[in-house]
Amino acid sequence: MHLIPHGFDLNLISVFYAIYKFRNVTQAAESLYISPSAFSHALNRLRTVLNDPLFIRIDGKMQPTKKAEAIAPTIIKSLEILSLELFSDAPFDNKNAAYEFSIAATEYTLFSVLPLLIQRCRNLAPHVSLKVVHENKNNSFKNIQLGKIDFTIGYSEYEETLSKNIDSFVCFTDRYVVVTPKGKYTSMSLDEYIQANHIRISTWHEHNGVIDQSLKNLGLMRNIVIELPNIMSSPYMIENSDLIITLPYKAANILKEIHPITLFELPFHVPEYEVQVFSLKEQELNSAQTWLINQIKEAFIGK
């Protein structure tokens, strides 16, 4: 790639565009908020650099030379690209825009949020795509600030302290239930729960979540036999075994339709499970991000 020569004044590109557009020095100068004299000096500098007169006064208008006509499309297109990429945030055209949203999500989010969101996007924004990544929650917040991902959608069990430019809203709440092999239990008391062998899910790579903390507050501890990063394989592991698992109800209810499992209410108090959407503050969002947040709110909380 050949770089622009050192010392070239990029403002001269705007000078070229203005005179090409208006064919009049006074009007071109006014469009750049400089005097006609300053504009003429700048145009002469550009002529020197490019070794061509570029524009010649004929019949009262500044007519482009052959070289000016040749380079005009590239200059105009380059300015359009720069303007669009650097400064424009036009209203999001959901019917025509080909925008890829990058979302950090837990597996539970895939069960409970994305199917409805995907359906809504397919109906309202057929050229939009969703890219789901899985990473540590704190890393996802950093990547939101860096502009590498648009949103994080995931659970929150405790009140969190967020960075000053990160915002969130609750998409919905859920409760935890106990999932057991079908026919293994007829009830689930606290004693039965403590005596059982457990699978623990560490979705955000957090090993001691709200379940274990709530038991600790009661002076109790469960026996963790297997720890998994997601819930997909857990129903297969509890089939024909003595293992149980504690999951959010919405996910467990979906799994119940395809696996021989039984659900029981959790036999001790645990705070509700909140699924939240994390993003930049409203004033820092681009129009596409604002559109998708509005779709999530309309789909799940009716706003």
Q: Would you say residue 185 lies in a domain? A: yes
Same domain, 292 and 144: yes
- pLDDT tens-place values along the chain, 303 residues long: 456 777 788 899 999 999 999 999 999 999 999 999 999 999 999 999 999 999 999 999 999 999 999 999 999 998 888 876 776 667 889 998 888 999 998 877 777 888 889 999 999 999 999 999 888 888 888 999 989 999 999 877 666 677 788 999 998 889 999 999 999 999 999 999 999 999 998 866 566 788 999 999 999 999 999 998 888 888 889 988 999 999 989 889 988 998 999 999 999 999 888 888 999 998 899 899 999 999 999 988 875
CB contact at 8 A, 181 and 260: yes
Query: Does residue 1 form part of some domain?
Result: no
Same domain, 216 and 73: no
202 & 250 share domain = yes
| 287 and 165 within one domain | yes
Give the chain's end-to-end CA distance (angstroms, integer): 50
Range of the domain at 254: 176-271
Same domain, 266 and 282: no
Q: Which of 8, 10, 17 lies closest to 80 in space, CA to CA?
A: 17
Q: What CATH number does residue 184 fall under?
A: 3.40.190.10
Let me know whether 63 and 209 are in one domain.
no
Closest by alpha carbon to 124, among 98, 102, 95?
95
